[in-house]
Copies of this chain bind each other. A is one copy, B any other.
Amino acid sequence: MLEDASLTNALPVTLTDKVRRGDLSSETCPSRQVLKNVTSQWGLLTLIALRDGKHRFGELRRKIGGVSEKMLTQSLRALEADGFIDRKVHHSIPPHVEYTLTPLGHEVTERVAALADWIELNYEKVLTVRQALASPNIR
């Protein structure tokens, strides 16, 4: 973690470096939860939807077909807590809340979406491997 960087005054230590050096303890890395938030099903779709700009709760829900209000609320709250989403409340009845990506949110979305798209585009290769593994003459 970043506390290692402050001790050694070296470049920031990444997860990748720690695995390589065998420094990784079993304690849960706090940034893991951030990774989970941005790669979770509804979290990912929420980020991608918000790339097109400001959305309200209902707009997001319709755009992300199939998400329950509960799960959408949960995802929005987590992403907001991580600093990726800005939530603006207009004090009105009925409620009026707008969600936008923060600059940090735009950055992480680009990266997560790129990964998801790569997997999507290479999924055919994955399917091929799976079919080969399912053949009875393997293992």
Listed in ascending order, the chain A residues whose CB lies under 8 Å from chain B are 1-2, 12, 14-16, 19-20, 22, 24-27, 30-32, 34-36, 38-39, 41, 44-45, 48-49, 51-52, 62-67, 80-83, 89, 104, 107-108, 111-126, 128-130, 133, 139
Once bound together, how far apart are the Cα atoms of A129 and B126, in whole Å? 38
What are some 28 contacts across the A-B interface (CB < 8 A)?
Answer: A14-B117, A14-B121, A15-B48, A15-B117, A16-B48, A16-B116, A20-B52, A22-B62, A22-B63, A22-B65, A24-B45, A24-B65, A26-B65, A26-B66, A26-B67, A30-B123, A31-B116, A31-B120, A32-B41, A34-B126, A35-B44, A35-B116, A80-B133, A82-B129, A82-B130, A89-B139, A104-B125, A107-B122
